[in-house]
Structure 1
Amino acid sequence: MDQNQMYIPTGFEKYTVGFEVGGHHFSSTIWDTSGALAYDTVRPLSYQNTDVFLICFHLGDWSSLQNVVNKWYPEIQQHSPAVPIILCGCQSDQRFSQQSYSEINSVNNYSLYSLSPTVDTKRKPVFSEEALAVSRQIGAITYVETTSLYNNRTAQEAFEVSALAAKGKLNNNSKLKTSSSSQTLTRHKSVFKLRKC
């Protein structure tokens, strides 16, 4: 998806992606699942046989990070607690858009690491340090960021990290750090899951 295209939510989308990591070929099935309330009872059925969850959120929208903590993580823990999680911040190029920047300056009580649902933080950017803190809080294996500004490299890196996690090459003792990134994963309020084929 081009960075200027509008995201149109879907119910379920399924993609197959092939790539190589460390000389090993991976063919992965990626499921983009809707967060809509209507799918709450059906969505967990797609979690069966998942090797890794890639929980994506929009770096220009603080409320999407709140959804990671309040919706996606608890749901995954309920249905697939032993499956590794990777937290993925999408659209890092949108973090400091003019709109996001002006909204930060207009809020007097904005504070880092506040995930209180009572604070109106929609469309406030998420800083890497904040995402890393949430990544640690939910026990994610690592945190990566993507952007669509620099070809496909960052999305590829996110999938490479996912493949390593699916093979058991990453664990919770891995140092959490931001990965350099290049393409936005377009479903920012969704859970992607990766299955080895």
Structure 2
Amino acid sequence: VFDNFSANVVVDGSTVNVGLWDTAGQEDYNRLRPLSYRGADVFLLAFSLISKASYENIHKKWIPELRHYAPNVPIVLVGTKLDLREDKQYLSEHPGATPITTAQGEELKKMIGAVSYIECSSKTQQNVKAVFDTAIKVALRPPKLKRKPHKPRPCTFL
């Protein structure tokens, strides 16, 4: 149901333990998945840049779930498969693929209240580091309501 990964990362001279939980999106896991949300500092909410259904599921499925179980956790919106969005061969071989534009991604970011929107490709590695750097920086931001000094702490994002 969950794939977990942990690593120590140096951020601004401090070592931070980053925990990454990749959760199953299938309907079969709807009852188990929210158990992993407790303690999350940031969510990486990803959709495919070549799938309209994936894009629409962000607003229809994922945002209601995250806002119900973790209403105050910031979201970094991630468009994946950037390398395929303008790949003419791929698009001709997959007529059902519907490329999502950067403008549509930015619009979705505003609609769901995400703190950031990044497009990336795991195949070419374009912007992959930026996704995780952004998530770590968001997770380490002190909460707006608290005025206490920030203590280094582990961060977990999904």
Partner residue of 2:2?
12
Per-residue deviation, 1:38: 1.1
Counterpart of 2:101 (choices 101, 124, 127) is: 127
* Cα contact 1:60–1:95 (8 A) shared by 2: yes
**Number of aligned residues:** 147
* Cα contact 2:49–2:101 (8 A) shared by 1: yes
1:195 maps onto 2:151 in alignment: no
1:167 maps onto 2:157 in alignment: no
Across the aligned residues of Structure 1 and Structure 2, the Cα RMSD in angstroms comes to: 2.5
- The code of the aligned residue for 1:34 comes to A
Q: C-alpha separation between the residues in 1 aligned to 2:142 and 2:103?
A: 24
Q: C-alpha separation between the residues in 2 aligned to 1:38 and 1:134?
A: 26
Partner residue of 2:130?
157
What are the superposed Cα offsets for residues 94-113 of structure 1, whole Å, 9 maximum, x if unpaired? 11122564499x8xxxxxxx
TM-score, length basis structure 1: 0.67
* Cα contact 1:100–1:125 (8 A) shared by 2: no
What are the superposed Cα offsets for residues 39-76 of structure 1, whole Å, 9 maximum, x if unpaired? 10110010001000010111121211111111111100
Q: C-alpha separation between the residues in 1 aligned to 2:71 and 2:101?
A: 27
Per-residue deviation, 1:154: 2.1
Per-residue deviation, 1:137: 0.2
**What is the SS of the residue equivalent to 1:94?**
helix
Per-residue deviation, 1:12: 1.5
Q: Which runs of 5+ in 2 are unaligned?
A: 145-154
Q: C-alpha separation between the residues in 1 aligned to 2:68 and 2:124?
A: 37
* Cα contact 1:59–1:89 (8 A) shared by 2: yes
Partner residue of 1:30?
20
Distance 1:95 1:156, change over 3 A: same
Q: Which has the higher helix share?
A: 2
- The code of the aligned residue for 2:115 comes to I
1:57 maps onto 2:31 in alignment: no
Q: Identical aligned pairs, as a percentage?
A: 31
* Cα contact 1:141–1:170 (8 A) shared by 2: no
Distance 1:49 1:17, change over 3 A: same
Per-residue deviation, 1:78: 0.5
Q: C-alpha separation between the residues in 1 aligned to 2:18 and 2:97?
A: 32
* Cα contact 2:91–2:97 (8 A) shared by 1: no
